[in-house]
Each structure stands twice: as C-alpha cells, then as structure tokens.
Amino acid sequence: MQYPEAIAKLIESYSKLPGIGRKSATRLAFYTLGMSDDDVENFTKNLAASKSDLTFCRICGFITSKTDDPCVICTDPSRDQSKIFVIENSQDEMAIENTHDYHGLYHVLNGVLSPMEGRGPEDINITSLITRLADHPEIKEVIIGLDASTEGEATTLYLGRLIRPSGIKVTRLARGLSMGTNVDYADQLTLTQAVNGRTEL
Amino acid sequence: MQYPEAIAKLIESYSKLPGIGRKSATRLAFYTLGMSDDDVENFTKNLAASKSDLTFCRICGFITSKTDDPCVICTDPSRDQSKIFVIENSQDEMAIENTHDYHGLYHVLNGVLSPMEGRGPEDINITSLITRLADHPEIKEVIIGLDASTEGEATTLYLGRLIRPSGIKVTRLARGLSMGTNVDYADQLTLTQAVNGRTEL
C-alpha cells in the first residue's frame, strides 16, 4: 500500500533536505498537513522567493537580495577598506558580524578546497579574491577565518602561499582553548597550539 | 546585521517545523539556495498540494486524496469487513499494512486522549468509531493498536469500556519482548508483561 500521491511527493521533497531521512520526512509531511493554510502558503512563497530574489554579492560573494548587489557591507563607506576577512560561507560572516568587533570587509569563498569532493581552486571564489586584492591597493591585511578542519587548514595554507608574494599581510584566526574549556579536557592538538601560541600577561 | 529578507523569511518558515531549531533552519535555508530550480519548484508545488489535494477518509480517518474519499481500503470489498483495527494515525496504518498480515479494516483516531494537552474524547475520532460499530453489525472484532505509552494505555482502557457493552470482541496488541531483545536488558515492566502473557509452546 502507498500513501496518497500528494503526501508521498511531499515526503519525497522533504527527504531531499540534508540530515532528513525517510522517517523524519514522513513526520514533517504529516506535520505540514496540520499547519495553518497561512503558514503553508508563506512557506511556499518563501521557498520560491529564495530562488528568485537572492543572489551572491558580485564583489564579496555574500548572500544578498538581487536589489542589493553589491551587498550592504561592500557599499558601506564607513567600513574599514584596508581589511578583508576571508570566510567559507554567509553564515560565518553573520557569526563574525554578531561579535560587533570587526569593521572591515569580507570575502566569502562559498566553499573550501576538497580533493575528496572534487572541489578545486576554480570551484570556489578564489580568483575573484585575487583580482580584488590586485585592484584595490588600499587593502593591507587579509584575515583568513576558515573552519579548524583538514579542508579549512589546506585552503588556509593555499591562500597564504597565493597572497603572501603580493606583500599584503596575511593573518589567520588564533588557535587555543575555547571559552569554558577545562585544560584537562582539551584535546592534545588544541593544547599544543595553546601552548605554542601563548601570550604575555 | 540581518540576513536579506528572502532568506530570513525562509529560515522563519523552516524553524516552524517540529524538531528544527534556528541553526538547523538556517542550514536548510542555505541548502535550499543550492538546490536545483526544479527541486525547489516541486517542493513548493508539493507543499501546496498537501493542503489542497488531501483529506481524511470520511469513514476511517485515514489520510487520502480528495478524489479517493472514502479511501482505497474502505472501498475495497476484498478486505475482511468483520475486523476493525483502531490506531492513532495514518503512519501507524502504513506500518501495519507493510506487515502484509492484516486484511481487515481500520479506524484512525488521529490522536489519543491526553489530559495534559487538553485532548478529550470529542477531539479524536471516537464518536465516528462508535457510530460505525452501531451501523455495521458485521463487525465482530475491534483490535486496539495504540502506542505503549501512558496516553495510549489510557485511550485503550477508555475504548474498551466504551465498546465492550455492545458485545463486540475487543482485543489489544500483545505485550512482550521485541524481536532482538536480550532478556537481561528488557525493562522490568516489559519482562513482567512477557511472563504474564506467556504462550504455550
């Protein structure tokens, strides 16, 4: 026996989302049936709008509405034009903005190098970064803020080698203990990096 | 700083789904941006169709398309008309159908009694069950197959008390060890029920 077509197809659509298996998709589909008409209508509108209204900023790669391209940060003259923060995706940019502590510009790679997934330098926003650095001599520092993972590490080293010859200062995020970590619970590598990167009191 | 409106709204919609918090909703929204136009279009169509094309079978309460009401099981003359399997929701019916071992009819309560959530007998399909039993003297057995939870248990006892006076046989699913359970890992209640309900070899 099969579910009626309309629900079977909705289960299909939900199970295409990442981290949502058949069981969860079925649960979500039945939950949808119980949602208010307004909520479902908004959901469909918002899904459609996400494809039609959004684009990646033509300068920095941040997600932006098509009516705001270049994005609000790239067009904000009050931002420090001498620094570029290189991150993997728009969510990372949002996390850094939420610290309210950085006032420079960004460059969103929209990916990291990953030989395993067949993603090379030409598949992420590296060329546009290099062109941007060449066109804007006012840029004095590139801060690389990629994930502390193997792929993030490889991409960081690659970018460092690529940018350093131009004479621009290249920095990376500090490694050490996260807030709240107990020294005896920290993993070996983190502890080694915290010792090597110790700062004067 | 805020995300562009289109993505913020999509995050909002995703986070209305059960078990999906702000972080997961953000992840799903960004994943949606990377989905093919076709997939997103199908998703929106399927969402809309789930509201417009589906209904609950007017006889048994199973989810069915509006063009198939009463549902395929209620209108199938080859099903055993003397048995009614009472379950909580359409997913449960699907699980039982997938065993290919039951050939009678169903009655979907679409809920269980829950004083905690303020759900009483009039909020679930109990009246329609009682009417159905009164109208169809060919029904000889009602099998109650609700979850082995406090609420499922309370609803089972309630239904038993309600139906038994009519002389119809009322049965419930067996309690005992699930397949693959080790005796020493089974909880006390399950083990007690398995001992009390022991069957002759």
Identify whether residues B78 and B154 lie together within a single domain. Answer: yes
In a domain, B161, yes or no: yes
Average pLDDT over every residue of A9-36 = 93
Identify whether residues B79 and B29 lie together within a single domain. Answer: no
In a domain, A155, yes or no: yes
The predicted pLDDT at position B90 comes to: 93
In a domain, B12, yes or no: yes
The predicted pLDDT at position B181 comes to: 87
Average pLDDT over every residue of A37-62 = 93
Write b or e for each residue in B75-95: b if 16 or more Cβ atoms lie within 10 A of its Cβ, otherwise e: eeeebeeebbbbbbbbbbbbe
Question: In 3D, which of B136, B130, B134 has the Cα closest to residue B74?
Answer: B136
Identify whether residues B107 and B11 lie together within a single domain. Answer: no
Identify whether residues B86 and B135 lie together within a single domain. Answer: yes
In chain B, which residues have their Cβ closer than 8 Å to the Cβ of A89?
30
Identify whether residues B33 and B68 lie together within a single domain. Answer: no
- Model pLDDT for residues B184-198, shown as the tens digit of each residue: 888 888 989 889 888
Q: What is the CATH classification number for the domain harbouring B32?
A: 1.10.8.420
Identify whether residues B71 and B153 lie together within a single domain. Answer: yes
Give the HSE-up count for residue A189: Cα atoms under 13 Å, Cβ half-sphere: 4
What's the pLDDT band for A200 if we cut at 50, 70, 90?
confident
- Model pLDDT for residues B6-32, shown as the tens digit of each residue: 999 999 999 999 999 999 999 999 999
Interface TM-score (ipTM) > 0.90 = no
Identify whether residues B7 and B97 lie together within a single domain. Answer: no
Identify whether residues B77 and B156 lie together within a single domain. Answer: yes
In chain A, which residues have their Cβ closer than 8 Å to the Cβ of B9?
42, 46, 49
Question: Helices in chain B by DSSP H: which ranges?
Answer: 5-14, 22-34, 37-52, 90-97, 126-135, 150-163, 188-196
The predicted pLDDT at position B51 comes to: 87
Q: What single-letter DSSP state applies at residue A177?
A: P
Looking at the structure of chain A, the number of domains it has is 1
In a domain, B197, yes or no: no
Residue among A14, A37, A54, A66 with most chain B CBs within 10 A, to mutate: A54
pLDDT at A51 over 90: no
In a domain, B31, yes or no: yes
The predicted pLDDT at position B1 comes to: 79
In a domain, B181, yes or no: no
- Model pLDDT for residues A154-198, shown as the tens digit of each residue: 999 999 999 999 999 999 999 898 888 888 888 888 989 889 888
Residues whose CB is less than 8 angstroms from the CB of residue B121 and which lie 6 or more positions away in sequence, other chains included: B113, B127, B158
- For A69, A98, B70, the CA distances from A102, given in Å and listed in that order, are 22, 9, 62
The predicted pLDDT at position A197 comes to: 87
- Mean per-residue pLDDT of chain A: 93
In a domain, A184, yes or no: no
CB proximity B95 to A under 8 Å:
no
Contact (CB<8Å) A33/B53? no
Contact (CB<8Å) A48/B44? yes
Q: What is the CATH classification number for the domain harbouring A90?
A: 3.40.1360.10
CA gap A93, A62 in Å, rounded = 8
Smallest Cβ–Cβ distance between B17 and the set A5, A28, A47 belongs to A28
Identify whether residues B162 and B72 lie together within a single domain. Answer: yes
- Model pLDDT for residues A65-98, shown as the tens digit of each residue: 999 999 999 999 999 999 999 999 999 999 999 9
Identify whether residues B16 and B110 lie together within a single domain. Answer: no
Identify whether residues B17 and B75 lie together within a single domain. Answer: no
Q: Which two tokens stand for residue B195?
A: 């001992």
Greater pLDDT, B104 or B51: B104
Query: What's the longest Cα–Cα distance across chain B?
Result: 70
The predicted pLDDT at position B197 comes to: 87
Show the domain range for B1.
1-39
Smallest Cβ–Cβ distance between A44 and the set B26, B39, B48 belongs to B48
pLDDT at A109 over 90: yes
Cis peptide bond prior to A70, omega within 30° of 0: yes
What's the pLDDT band for B123 if we cut at 50, 70, 90?
very high
In a domain, A25, yes or no: no
Percent of chain A with pLDDT strictly greater than 70: 100
Percent of chain B with pLDDT strictly greater than 70: 100
Smallest Cβ–Cβ distance between B18 and the set A26, A31, A53 belongs to A31
Average pLDDT over every residue of B112-135 = 94
Q: What single-letter DSSP state applies at residue B13?
A: H
pLDDT at A2 over 90: no
Percent of chain A with pLDDT strictly greater than 90: 79
Identify whether residues B98 and B168 lie together within a single domain. Answer: yes
